[in-house]
């Protein structure tokens, strides 16, 4: 990921502070448990002491190494068994203390299994793009809080499908997209008039994909193309631009909100095509929300943009009336 070096160093410093704070909380949790159960602390000291004593014995009598290691393992097993019994009586496990960390996987170090942890990669993204829509995700907008009751069951489109039935199908497609992300490559184009729930769906998917350990950039079309165009007119440093463009192409999930609201130019048309194409080649999923119809996409961008979207994206068209009005009366 091409994050600028100064942002990267700043993120490392932040993680050092996060790790220090988490370890302080962990020590406090452990001290409380150990104060009430002194034998646990004694066991820890005995286990550490047994390892040191065994190492000294091996140095002194290397021929007896296997015997010494066998005796050490027996001793450690005996002590660990006693420790586990005490934890069981308390209704906890040793992992209880790891709840002090914001990310139990990397224990707030930013590294897991020899590589950058997902939590650190996502932190870098949010630090680099502080105004990204990710920072504005509402805690109330998720698959769990999605309410189909805002959609009419009585109105029918020309195919005889109500907005409720249509949204129920779209909801299931979006839910599956989020749950299968990483194992199934897919792209979504979410279309419909203002106020039908496009942003809610994008938020729900983004939140779930983040929770499942993947990186997400969620950005408005206006900001995306303004940033890219600034480079064309030398308003960004070369390193900053290459970093931004690299992240747009390589983030696990790219969500472009409100395509069509940006200032339309031939450059924008070229950029959206390149982004879609590059991410497609590398099997990186993309979600685009827009008020535009396919015909308007063709008119505003180009035949080849619509062709690429048609070939690579599943089209989801929301129908019905603006649900924001219904929300006011139903809440």
Q: What pLDDT, on the 0 to 100 scale, is given for residue 288?
A: 97
Q: How far apart, in whole angstroms, are the C-alpha atoms of residue 325 and residue 331? A: 10
Q: pLDDT for 180-215, tens place per residue?
A: 999 999 999 999 999 999 999 999 999 899 888 888
Q: Give the H or E element holding residue 115.
A: strand 115-116
Taking the domains of the chain in order of start, what are their residue ranges?
A: 5-112, 129-330
| Average pLDDT value for the chain | 87
Q: pLDDT for 16-31, tens place per residue?
A: 999 999 999 999 999 9
> Does CATH number 3.90.1150.180 belong to domain 129-330?
no
CB 293 within 8 A of CB 258: no
Q: With a threshold of 0.75, does the pTM exceed it?
A: no
CB atoms within 10 A of CB 124: 23
Q: How far apart, in whole angstroms, are the C-alpha atoms of residue 102 and residue 23? A: 11
HSE toward the beta carbon, residue 133, CA cutoff 13 A: 21
Helix-strand-coil split of the chain, %, nearest 5: 65, 10, 25
CB 256 within 8 A of CB 227: no
pLDDT digit of tens for each residue in the chain (331 aa)? 555 566 777 888 889 999 999 999 999 999 999 999 999 999 999 999 999 999 999 999 989 999 999 999 999 999 999 999 999 999 999 899 999 998 888 999 988 888 888 888 778 777 765 545 565 555 677 898 888 988 989 888 888 899 999 999 999 999 999 999 999 999 999 999 999 999 999 999 998 998 888 888 898 898 888 888 776 665 545 555 467 788 889 889 999 999 998 877 788 888 999 999 999 999 999 999 999 999 999 999 989 999 999 999 999 999 988 887 777 666 5
Percent share of the chain, pLDDT over 90: 56
Q: How far apart, in whole angstroms, are the C-alpha atoms of residue 199 and residue 138? A: 11
């Amino acid at each position: 990921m091409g994050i600028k070096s100064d942002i990267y160093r700043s993120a490392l410093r932040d993680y050092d502070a996060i790790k220090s704070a988490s370890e302080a909380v962990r020590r406090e949790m452990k001290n409380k448990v150990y104060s009430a159960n002194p034998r646990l602390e004694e066991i820890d000291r005995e286990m550490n002491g047994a390892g040191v004593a065994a190492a000294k014995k091996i140095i002194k009598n290397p021929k007896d190494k296997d015997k010494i290691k066998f005796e050490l393992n027996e001793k450690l097993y005996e002590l660990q068994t006693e420790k586990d019994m005490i934890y069981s009586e308390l209704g906890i496990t040793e992992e209880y203390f790891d709840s002090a960390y914001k990310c139990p996987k990397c224990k707030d170090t930013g590294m897991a299994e020899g590589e950058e942890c997902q939590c650190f990669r996502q932190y870098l993204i949010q630090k680099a793009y502080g105004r990204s829509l990710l920072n504005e995700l509402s805690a109330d907008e998720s698959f769990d809080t999605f309410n189909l009751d805002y959609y009419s069951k009585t109105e029918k489109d020309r195919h005889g499908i109500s907005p409720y039935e249509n949204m129920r199908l779209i909801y299931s497609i979006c839910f599956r997209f989020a749950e299968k992300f990483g194992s199934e490559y897919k792209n979504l184009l979410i279309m419909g008039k203002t106020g039908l729930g496009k942003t809610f769906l994008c938020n729900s998917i983004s939140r779930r994909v983040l929770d499942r350990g993947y990186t997400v950039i969620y950005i408005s079309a206006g900001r995306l193309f303004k940033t890219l165009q600034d480079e064309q007119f030398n308003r960004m440093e070369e390193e900053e631009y290459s970093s931004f463009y690299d992240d747009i192409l390589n983030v696990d999930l790219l969500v472009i909100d409100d395509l069509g609201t940006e200032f339309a130019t031939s450059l924008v048309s070229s950029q959206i095509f390149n982004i879609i194409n590059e991410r497609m080649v590398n099997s990186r999923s993309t979600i685009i929300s827009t008020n535009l119809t396919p015909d308007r996409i063709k008119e505003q961008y180009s035949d080849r943009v619509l062709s690429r979207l048609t070939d690579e994206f599943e089209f989801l068209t929301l129908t019905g009336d603006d649900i924001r009005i219904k929300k006011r009366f139903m809440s």
